[in-house]
Structure 1
Amino acid sequence: MLQYKKILKLRVNKMNAFDVSGLFSTQTDAVSVKPYGNGHINSTFLVTAQSGKRYILQKVNGRVFKNPEQVMQNIIKVTEYLRSRLSGAMKTLTLVELKNGKKYFTDENGEIWRMYDFIENAVSLELPETENDFYQSAVAFGAFQNMLKDFPASELYETIPNFHNTPLRFKSFIEAAELNPMNRAKNALPEIEFIKARKSFCSTLEESRKNGDLPLKVTHNDTKLNNVMLDKDTREPVCVIDLDTVMPGYSVNDFGDSIRFGASTAAEDEKDLSKVHFDINLYNTYAKGFLFGCGGTLTESERRLLPVGAKMMTLECGMRFLTDYLLGDTYFKTAYPEHNLVRCRTQLKLVSEMEKHESEMLAAVL
């Protein structure tokens, strides 16, 4: 313990990932610590111990998560709850304790470091290689909802306030369009009008919440395919990862964000809109898997609102891209000046096609 305290007294701002890895209770000392993955939020490292066991070390991005301690408290509560209810091959993230017994380390700069057991014999995909990959991710996120159905969502912190408050996002969009600080609105007039025309729709889920049709639940809030680990051999789900945004929310938003990302025929920043389409077959595949994973835990009103969630999350994302474009690209990383506008256009194209498939989308979830 004395040695541990001496380490903590080091000038932590000069400590690198290798130094920090030594503070955790790994099986043996680390022999290798290397940057890992392609995430843009947290700093992630793969730690290999002398025994060969591997771990994931992360420094939480305090600029994105203003209260990282609350993020960690949410993760601790949810993973401990899940671990007591897991069955079959499904796992949950396992935090590695520090040598002093704590779950995470706060350095002298106030930045938080954590370590997880590495999930072996599993893959994380950026895009589905088969339709079954998309189906299995749906099963995983549905099962995540199912296992947490009795967890009191009110016990979790809202780590990103108003994250999916679409009426508030619309208000911010209107303010950005009127302020027009970069004089870019002239480049996006059709997109601005498209979103304005859907003002009333933006309040649909909020009104459903007020009417009692949307129960507050524990939600993931970043339900992309790459946040599910699939078994390398069977391609069945092993673990839902990236729990930083786990907080109180609505099932329809988790469903909708998956559809926004996964039922498109093109990349989020595809410039050629003729390549961008909403794939109703992929939607049906995901809906089937999600409902199976949920195991009957969704209410009838939630099921009816799943298609609304898909359209809402897609419109909201397009709105956020356009707002950022109008304000000078202050939030999303961009590779060129029109990048956020291009992203916005793909999302609005998907919204327009979803509107043509509304009856089919509803039929798939009833």
Structure 2
Amino acid sequence: MQSSKNIAEVVSHFKCAADVGSQKAYGSGHINDTFLLKNVQPSGPDYLLQRINHRIFTNVEKLTDNMRRVTEHLKNKIKEHGYGDPLKEVMTLIPTDSTRFFYKDSSGDYWRMFYFLSDTKSYDVVKTEKQAYEGGKAFGKFQAMLCDIPAGEIFEVIPDFHNIQKRLQHLDEAVANDHLGRVASVKNELDIVAKYAASMQYFQQPEQVATLPKRVIHNDTKFNNVLLDKNDEAQCVIDLETVMDGYVAYDFGDAIRTIINTTTEDEADLSKIQLNMPLFNAYVKGYLKEASKFLTDAEVNSLMKGALLLPYMQAVRFLTDHINGDKYFKIKFEGHNLQRARAQFQLVKMLDANAAAMHNTILNEMDIYKTAQY
């Protein structure tokens, strides 16, 4: 926990009325540190203060400009189309006293602030079909509202973020270095990596590169990055630091990764990892309700490829970090990243066994929306 003195110094540079003494850690993110601060005025909005992990997000100025541009675009879309209240449905950055939207403190740490969206909730594990459907709608609508930003105009915050060839290269480098001597204990996991490696490079195939459009997407669509209101209806998509160009299937795949799993992403008992098909079906319905308006046939055909790739890629990333000494993801105990990797590999196996049927569900649902549009 940051000291109140340090938090007070940071907060003093933002145009807000935060009660520094009310700070408490908030959320379950792996990368940044987030604190909830109450407003000194009881009727005023509360705040989220985040310390940005600048070892990962190395260009904080460009990152912040991305977030500012995207949130403004989303707010304008909501206003234009009468979707609802832009202050509730989009995160709002708070400026500093220098009119920037981030602050660098004397220790070299970077900070940003948002208004806290009250009466909302997020879920690490999806419980109901309604939650899954609303999550699908939220991410589908998010993509639809951003699809008119041309590719290439948003700064690439983390180069090759979803390039599996690069992720596999990083794993190979970690294995070759093995500076903590952990490789000998992960031979089974490395065999799984090798088994699927070729098929997971679908999005790097020349035919797909030529056919699939790059779009501005979220790139981190874990279900807990959707805020639902008190009625479990989607209100806002959050955690926008990885918004940049990519394939829509990446967002679809990461959402399915966290929605379809019957347990948590770091489940130690692999027998508990099963596929909740009703939740998958509900998410597909919600997603295509919004995304069917702009998706090409090639993109629709790629969605299930994304659903296979993202848990595989996440497993590769967890395994790489474990071998390297847990430098990227926060861990709660020794071996946590390895446990995460094993759980994600198990999920890949389950998805692979059911991929054909799941792809047909997507196509059938897309046909329903196509028919309704004509």
Q: TM-score w.r.t. structure 2 length? A: 0.87
Instruction: Map 1:129-140 onto structure 2 (within 5 A).
Output: 129-140=127-138
Conserved 8 A contact 1:257-1:313: yes
Distance 1:175 1:101, change over 3 A: closer
Q: Which residues of structure 2 form unaligned runs of 5+?
A: 364-374
Distance 1:96 1:325 in 2: 36
Counterpart residue number, 2:247: 250
Counterpart residue number, 1:261: 258
Distance 2:213 2:130 in 1: 30
Counterpart residue number, 1:17: 7
Instruction: Map 1:53-202 onto structure 2 (within 5 A).
Output: 53=44, 54-86=46-78, 87-89=82-84, 91-202=89-200
Distance 1:219 1:41 in 2: 19
1:83-131 Cα shifts (integer Å, max 9, x gaps) = 1111333621112223343333233444332221221222222222322
What is the identity percentage for the equivalent residue pairs of Structure 1 and Structure 2? 37
Conserved 8 A contact 2:35-2:48: yes
Distance 2:297 2:77 in 1: 25
Which residue identity does 2:193 align to in structure 1? I
Deviation at 1:334, TM superposition (A): 3.1
Distance 1:63 1:14 in 2: 24
1:21-55 Cα shifts (integer Å, max 9, x gaps) = 233223x5647441231334323222333322112
Higher helix share: 2
Distance 1:272 1:29 in 2: 43
Distance 2:124 2:118 in 1: 18
1:236-272 Cα shifts (integer Å, max 9, x gaps) = 1111111111111111001101111221112222221
Conserved 8 A contact 1:22-1:30: no
Deviation at 1:184, TM superposition (A): 2.9
Q: 1:35 aligns with which of 16, 24, 45?
A: 24
Distance 2:207 2:100 in 1: 38
* SS across alignment from 1:287: helix
Distance 1:47 1:60 in 2: 17
Counterpart residue number, 1:10: none
1:128-154 Cα shifts (integer Å, max 9, x gaps) = 232211221111011000000101231
* SS across alignment from 1:116: strand
* SS across alignment from 1:183: coil
* SS across alignment from 2:287: helix
Counterpart residue number, 1:356: 353
Counterpart residue number, 1:8: none
Deviation at 1:227, TM superposition (A): 1.1
Distance 1:210 1:31, change over 3 A: closer
Which residue identity does 1:167 align to in structure 2? Q
Distance 1:112 1:79 in 2: 20
Which residue identity does 2:203 align to in structure 1? L
Distance 1:286 1:92 in 2: 21
Larger mean CA deviation between 77-86 and 263-272 belongs to 263-272
Which residue identity does 1:253 align to in structure 2? Y
Distance 2:50 2:243 in 1: 17
Q: 1:275 aligns with which of 265, 268, 272?
A: 272
Q: 1:304 aligns with which of 301, 304, 307?
A: 301
Q: CA RMSD in A?
A: 2.3
* SS across alignment from 1:119: coil
Moved over 6 A (4+): none
Distance 1:97 1:207, change over 3 A: same
* SS across alignment from 1:16: helix
Which residue identity does 1:147 align to in structure 2? M
Distance 2:158 2:34 in 1: 21
* SS across alignment from 2:362: coil
Distance 1:100 1:78, change over 3 A: same
Aligned length: 352
1:300-350 Cα shifts (integer Å, max 9, x gaps) = 111111111010011111112222233333333334443322222211111
Counterpart residue number, 2:366: none
Distance 1:358 1:41 in 2: 31
Distance 2:332 2:25 in 1: 22
Deviation at 1:217, TM superposition (A): 0.9
Distance 2:91 2:141 in 1: 15
Larger mean CA deviation between 250-259 and 114-123 belongs to 114-123
Distance 2:32 2:191 in 1: 36
